[in-house]
Amino acid sequence: MTDKVTKIIYKREMRNMIVNLKQIGLSSNGIIFGGLVRDEIIGTYYSKLFKSSNKDFSKFWDMDYDLDTIRRIIIPNDMDIYFHKIENKNIFVDKLNNFAKLFNGNVTINQINSSSTFKEVQYNLSQLVDLKQCKIFVDFNIGRTMTTNGIKLKFNIDVVYNVNLIEGSVIEPPFNNLDFTSNMFIMENVCGKQFIRISNCTGTKLDNMTFYLKHKYIASITNDIINMRTQFVRRSDSAKCEYINSYRIIKMMSRSNKWNWNITNLIFKIKLQDEVIFNDTSCCICLDSHKSDKYIVLNKSIYHYDCFTEYLIRENAKKYRNSKGEIECKCPLRNKFNFKDCYKLIDYI
């Protein structure tokens, strides 16, 4: 008898685990939103492109094969899901536990008592919702044998659920609090099938567009998404808004380290090395002229991408307040970023 070898490909297992978690959520009447839906659009597009070009399918998960469609293997960082009723959230948790048992897995739930983001949502929708939030941590052990421990798959799920929804109210993610244009899509279960559409509660001009203009804009946004472009559209007048704004931009920029996302309506621009036209490429933060894969260009100043990102993280953590008590976020030259005004630069048609 010859030994039978089973090859475990981490990304393939992660993708399939997420597919199962997604189906469990949708079958529990959940609405999935945020980065997972965005990555689903990207992954599906490039997967179909890969399959239609007669490539070697055995190399689908090979990071060095067919780089033109490499985004086919994009993996979401986490899953955001919303339930109209707490009963549906409980059904989801029960199904998760049953699924985890199949793989010697664990499901851990942490209730979140307060969240700055959702406090703002509550303020905007106080007559309609009472949103609660919890984090679910799941891990699965796959490929375990008598002689090896196998591989652990870990994934986080952010759950938002409503405990006071008025009958007949139309409330859905992102709860009139959209951050990026790439996050305006939601996923739900329609007649037993996965269905992706634009949310009716983005909080932008899109919600009131005519059918024709909305679908024209959807085509434009979808094209941006598959080309890793997005715009920051969050609108808030709260004193803490720039802290939340900068946090969300930092989070999106961390995705850019893997997939070259470009946020096109900020006052600073993300440029690849071959797009930088300055003769002097010395970083204005570290003052070093070593080459970088990506740069940040702000007015006539240039920064290494990593140096600028680290600076923005520190600036966010300071929570500096002006004389009016409003949090401000400033560039290395101490000019205000004014992320709160970015939405004004969006052309919706």
Q: What is the pLDDT along the chain (349 residues), one digit of tens a residue?
A: 567 777 788 999 999 999 999 999 999 999 999 999 999 999 999 999 999 988 999 999 999 999 999 999 999 999 999 999 999 999 999 999 999 999 889 999 998 876 555 555 544 554 556 788 999 999 998 887 777 888 899 999 999 998 876 666 678 999 999 999 999 999 999 998 999 999 999 999 999 999 888 888 999 999 999 999 999 999 998 999 999 999 999 999 988 777 889 999 999 999 888 888 777 778 999 999 888 889 999 988 999 999 999 999 999 999 999 999 999 999 999 999 999 999 998 887 6
Q: Which domain does 39 fall in, by range?
A: 10-230
* Rounded Cα distance, 47 and 73, in Å: 8
Q: Are residues 265 and 186 in the same domain?
A: no
Q: Are residues 321 and 218 in the same domain?
A: no
Q: Are residues 215 and 335 in the same domain?
A: no
The confidence score (pLDDT) of residue 117 equals 56
Q: Are residues 164 and 26 in the same domain?
A: yes
Q: Are residues 295 and 217 in the same domain?
A: no
Residue 57 lies in a domain: yes
Q: Would you give the distance in Å from CA 29 to the centre of its chain?
A: 21
Q: Are residues 120 and 165 in the same domain?
A: yes
Q: Are residues 146 and 253 in the same domain?
A: no
The confidence score (pLDDT) of residue 300 equals 85
Q: Are residues 304 and 172 in the same domain?
A: no
Residue 235 lies in a domain: no
The confidence score (pLDDT) of residue 334 equals 92
The confidence score (pLDDT) of residue 131 equals 85
Report yes or no on whether pTM surpasses 0.85: yes
The confidence score (pLDDT) of residue 129 equals 66
Q: Are residues 164 and 253 in the same domain?
A: no
Residue 88 lies in a domain: yes
* Rounded Cα distance, 48 and 57, in Å: 12
| Domains held by the chain: number | 2
Residues with Cβ within 8 Å of 133's Cβ and at least 6 positions away in sequence, in order, are 111, 112, 115, 118, 158, 159, 160, 161
Q: Are residues 40 and 66 in the same domain?
A: yes
Cα torsion through 291, 296, 297, 299, rounded to 10? -140
* Tokens describing residue 35: 């980065």
Ramachandran category for residue 319: left, alpha or beta (phi over 0 → left; psi -120 to 50 → alpha): left
Q: Are residues 216 and 250 in the same domain?
A: no
The structure tokens 């720039």 sit at 242
Residue 24 sits at the vertex; the CA angle it makes with 19 and 26, to the nearest 5 degrees, is 95
Residue 2 lies in a domain: no
The confidence score (pLDDT) of residue 123 equals 45
Residue 147 lies in a domain: yes
Q: Are residues 268 and 224 in the same domain?
A: no
Residue 322 lies in a domain: yes
Long-range contacts, 315-322 (Cβ 8 Å, 24+): 315/246, 316/243, 316/246, 316/247, 316/250, 319/243, 321/239
Residue 236 lies in a domain: no
Residue 275 lies in a domain: yes
Burial class (CB in 10 A: 0-12, 13-18, 19+), 276: middle
